[in-house]
């Protein structure tokens, strides 16, 4: 096997000469305890949120039916969102935090301030007008800010996991899905209580079939803005993009809520003229973001070609989503679950290595920290590549 062909100024160039450092393994006892503690609190808050919803509805049977209706589309939508995450899979715990933030903290925050703002508007404009205008005037800023808080937290404090537009869209989708799920419980319960099965079916069609992507779409504007800020070298874009993204989220949300005030015809006009094209635009942006990740892999791993853990054929495989899926399937057929897991881990780590180098080139992470990650990652990649059956390798 040949040595890794890395330029002298690349911190990984000494990876073959130095001691093999293990890749970060299972979390230590304190980290595990902290994870369990945080997960427990998230669970408690989620149950309390559901309890508040149930108390407000006042009928446990109606609440249970509404909750099941609200949860029904969530697994499908989460799988669709995960399909976009083809290069560097995001940590499950961060995706879970985003989802449960939307389903709990954001919904409670929005509920309090929307109620307060609605009371102010009714005091100023009268009960009828104030109640009608609360949805377009209060909900968009309050709800989008409440959802965006977790995205900004990830952006500032988890820079190693928030690399660009695709990450922003994925985290936004998770927080939006969580928010929509909890919010829909109330809407479905009202439909059941006021009009029975027929009203519940209409509400389900409007909110689950046509509007299932509503909150994820709105909040994806914030995610895209943060992602553009992370990717750009322009200081002005770095500052303006997050604010512009949040304003875009509020504006889409405003149009959606406003259209509901004027009847179904106006709602469908806004849906067809604005919302559906916006969804298509986000999917196009996601496609270009996936292509960007492919370019990063090619650019930042090209110096390692002909090393003992990657070759030109592997490079071509790693830069194409379809080829990654194909080789993963080949590994499964050749060696079962363990071979598939090794292949998937190889794909994940190559992407992490490329993005680690990209972050160093952008000054997002320090060269010292990045060099340590490089050495550990390359050591693990050598182990995985050597263990992969020849039939599951790209040749």
The encoded tokens of residue 169 equal: 């869209």
Q: What is the mean pLDDT of residues 2-21?
A: 40
Residues 337 and 269 in one domain: no
Query: Is the pLDDT at 13 greater than 70, yes or no?
Result: no
pLDDT tens column, 314-330: 999 999 988 998 999 98
Distance CA 90, CA 168 (A): 11
Distance CA 103, CA 67 (A): 12
Angstrom CA distances, 32 to 50, 93, 353, stand at: 27, 12, 25
Residues 340 and 197 in one domain: no
- Decide if 54 is inside a domain: yes
- Decide if 5 is inside a domain: no
- Decide if 97 is inside a domain: yes
The residue range of the domain holding 320 is: 305-392
- Band (pLDDT 50/70/90 cuts) for residue 242 is very high
- Decide if 261 is inside a domain: yes
Number of folded domains that form the chain: 2
Angstrom CA distances, 274 to 134, 278, 280, 329, 365, stand at: 22, 6, 10, 39, 39
Specify burial of residue 321 (Cβ count, 10 A radius: 0-12, 13-18, 19+).
Answer: middle
Q: 76-95 burial, b for 16+ CB within 10 Å, e for fewer?
A: ebbeebeebbbbbebeeebb
Angstrom CA distances, 202 to 56, 70, 187, 264, 390, stand at: 22, 14, 11, 12, 55
pLDDT tens column, 207-227: 887 888 899 999 999 999 999
**What per-residue confidence (pLDDT) applies to 31?**
61
Residues 41 and 170 in one domain: yes
pLDDT tens column, 156-194: 999 888 999 999 999 999 999 999 999 888 888 887 877
Q: Supply the mean pLDDT for the chain.
A: 84
Query: Is the pLDDT at 391 greater than 60, yes or no?
Result: no
- Decide if 21 is inside a domain: no
Residues 45 and 130 in one domain: yes
């Amino acid at each position: 096997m040949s040595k890794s062909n890395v330029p002298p100024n690349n911190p990984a160039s000494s990876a073959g000469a130095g001691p093999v450092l293990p890749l970060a393994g299972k979390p230590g006892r304190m980290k595990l305890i902290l994870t369990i503690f945080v997960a427990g609190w998230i669970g408690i808050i989620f149950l309390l949120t559901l309890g508040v919803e149930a108390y407000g509805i006042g009928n446990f049977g109606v609440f249970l039916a509404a909750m099941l209706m609200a949860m029904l589309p969530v697994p499908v939508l989460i799988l669709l969102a995960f399909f976009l995450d083809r290069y560097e899979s995001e940590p499950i715990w961060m995706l879970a935090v985003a989802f449960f933030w939307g389903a709990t903290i954001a919904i409670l925050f929005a509920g309090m301030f929307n109620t307060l703002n609605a009371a102010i508007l009714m005091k100023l404009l009268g009960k009828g007008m104030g109640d009608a205008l609360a949805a377009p005037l209060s909900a968009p800023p309050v709800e989008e800010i409440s959802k965006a808080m977790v995205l900004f937290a990830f952006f500032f404090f988890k820079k190693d996991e928030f690399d660009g537009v695709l990450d922003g869209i994925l985290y936004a989708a998770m927080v939006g899905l969580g928010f929509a799920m909890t919010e829909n419980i109330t809407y479905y319960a009202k439909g059941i209580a006021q009009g029975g099965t027929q009203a519940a079916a209409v509400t389900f069609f409007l909110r689950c079939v046509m509007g299932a992507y509503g909150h994820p779409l709105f909040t994806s504007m914030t995610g895209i803005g943060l992602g553009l800020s992370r990717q750009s070298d322009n200081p002005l874009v770095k500052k303006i993009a997050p604010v512009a993204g949040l304003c875009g989220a509020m504006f889409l949300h405003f149009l959606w809520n406003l259209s509901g005030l004027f009847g179904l015809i106006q709602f469908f006009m806004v849906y067809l003229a604005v919302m559906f094209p916006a969804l298509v635009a986000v999917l196009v942006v996601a496609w270009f973001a996936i292509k960007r990740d492919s370019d990063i892999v090619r650019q930042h791993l090209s110096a390692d070609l002909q090393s003992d853990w990657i070759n030109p054929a592997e490079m071509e495989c790693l830069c194409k989503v379809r080829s990654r899926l194909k080789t993963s399937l080949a590994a499964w057929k050749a060696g079962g679950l363990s071979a598939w897991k090794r292949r998937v881990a190889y794909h994940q780590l190559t992407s992490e290595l490329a993005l680690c180098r990209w972050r160093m080139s952008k000054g997002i992470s320090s060269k010292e920290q990045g060099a340590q990650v490089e050495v550990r990652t390359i050591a693990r990649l050598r182990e995985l590549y050597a263990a992969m059956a020849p039939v599951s390798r790209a040749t």
